[in-house]
Amino acid sequence: MKISVLPLVAGSLLLACAASDTDEPSDVPESFVDGTNNIATVEDRGTECSIPDMENYLNLDEHPLLPDPFLGMGGERITTKAEWACRRAEISAQVQEYELGPKPPAPESVSAALSDDALTITVEDGGTSISFDATVQLPETGTGPFPIMITLGQGTSLDTNGTISNLGVAMVALNHDDIAAQQNGSSRGQGKFYELYPGHEAGAMMAWAWGTSRLIDALEDAPELNLDPTRVGVTGCSRNGKGALVIGAFDERIALTLPQESGAGGSSLWRMSDVHQQAWLDAGMVPEYGAVQTLQQIVMENVWFRDSFRQFSTTATRLPFDHHMVMGLVAPRAMFILNNTDQWWLDRQGSHFGATTAHEVWDALGIPSNMGTSQNGGHPHCSGVPQSELDQVAAFVAKFLVGGGTESTDVLFTDGNFPDVRDEWIEWDVPALE
């Protein structure tokens, strides 16, 4: 997709990009071979991979334990780093088929008008046009082009006292609720995305991922904006933390993904949530709205997932994946997952175990420092993050977004003192991919 930059009016720019008929998917990049953090120049590097047909729900096998991320759909385990590219594409296809809905390809054209700090993205496809907004806050230090941290909603507690922006990062707040609504279970099909694609099967989170990709399209090759689209991060908390994970998982141009307290549909595991909730039920200790959010509850609460995902309400074990594999879609790029030990609703044990299990993908690729997770209690949901964790956020931003950071990103921490349950949930080992 090529972008041209044209003058609009004083203080504004117009960016226009249209898909080229000669655009071809790139070859599998060296990052999958040598284990570096090279960021893709295309949205999805898996388009050249051959994906087997998806099984009907009724034909799916039961997987009581966590599925093996390294076992291909054809029954063979991958053995090389290069093979991760197409194994990742298989997982991506399964997640879209059963949970999130399909992500539409790049549209016919994208344009953006920037005036002061307001950025309006206009997308045209199939004779229909929509527009949505983002707010740009440039850092007070540096001269640019600035790396970018996209936030879902206005601001983030991870930038407390300038943790991120003081490193010379531009903060871009995306109005994602305008792209796809998330008020409640009756919000399905509402928002600009569904105006462009009426009746589309994607849930709200995949619609946000599509919209974020269009934002990146509009920023590419536009130095006049003084923003660097080759250094993009994304973050959000709670429901927006779920969204940040999905966005990072489904656009390989994103260098750093920072999901915060994302829980069900984020860093927790569907299978483990069901088991933990049942333990509360058996003990007769469940509060009115439950101690742990499960798949059965969340599909009724909101429209973050495709509508057909509700068929797994009591059969999460039929899913050929779980969220350790959704998080693994980000590899080999960088990710730092933040959780809160005080949040029982987010399945605090499952959230930490999900993140540490996902880390095994980066282990297999030989780049364990590219992914970390930290879980601290003693603060409210989505606020009051301890300074020690903010320092870890700064280390990831400096190393993987700004560049040149030297602080350690080897972080696999919880203050929850949880038992080691790997042997109870996992039957596969971590391969040393060649």
39 touches 402 (CB < 8 A): no
Q: What per-residue confidence (pLDDT) applies to 37?
A: 61
Q: Write the pLDDT tens digit of every residue in 42-57.
A: 999 999 999 999 999 9
* Ramachandran quadrant class, 137 (left: phi over 0; alpha: psi -120 to 50; beta: rest): beta
Q: Write the pLDDT tens digit of every residue in 143-171.
A: 999 999 999 988 899 999 999 999 999 99
- The span from the CA of 41 to the CA of 217, in Å, is 10
The residues facing 374 across adjacent strands are 338, 413
199 touches 159 (CB < 8 A): no
**H/E run at residue 295:** helix 295-301
Reply yes or no on whether the pLDDT at 2 is more than 50: no
How distant, in Å, are the alpha carbons of 110, 174, 209, 358, 359 from that of 136? 18, 9, 19, 32, 32
- The span from the CA of 205 to the CA of 97, in Å, is 14
- Interacting residues of 144 by C-beta distance below 8 A, sequence separation 6+: 138, 170, 226, 227, 228
Reply yes or no on whether the pLDDT at 230 is more than 80: yes
In the three-class reduction of DSSP (H, G, I as helix; E, B as strand; rest coil), residue 218 is classed as helix
Reply yes or no on whether the pLDDT at 24 is more than 50: no
What's the CATH fold of domain 109-425?
A: Rossmann fold (3.40.50)
**Residue range 72-81: average pLDDT?**
97
Reply yes or no on whether the pLDDT at 88 is more than 50: yes
Which structure tokens are listed for 229?
A: 């689209």
Reply yes or no on whether the pLDDT at 287 is more than 90: no
Q: Write the pLDDT tens digit of every residue in 231-273.
A: 999 999 999 999 999 999 999 999 999 999 999 999 999 999 9
Radius of gyration of the chain (CA): 21
218 touches 174 (CB < 8 A): no
- Name the H helices within 160-269: 176-179, 192-196, 204-219, 239-249
- The span from the CA of 426 to the CA of 91, in Å, is 18
Which structure tokens are listed for 409?
A: 């990103």
Percent above pLDDT 70 for the chain: 90
Domain ranges of the chain: 109-425
Reply yes or no on whether the pLDDT at 13 is more than 70: no
Q: What per-residue confidence (pLDDT) applies to 8?
A: 28
Reply yes or no on whether the pLDDT at 10 is more than 50: no
How distant, in Å, are the alpha carbons of 152, 206, 225 from that of 304? 14, 8, 32
Reply yes or no on whether the pLDDT at 420 is more than 50: yes
Of 1-15, 220-234, 390-404, the range with the highest mean pLDDT is 390-404
pLDDT band at 288 (very low <50, low <70, confident <90, very high): low
Phi then psi for 109, rounded to 5 degrees?
A: -155, 150
Q: Give, in degrees to the nearest 5, the angle at Cα 75 between 56 and 275.
A: 65
156 touches 389 (CB < 8 A): no
Question: Which residue numbers are catalytic?
Answer: 238, 381
Pairing of strands 146-152, 109-115: unpaired
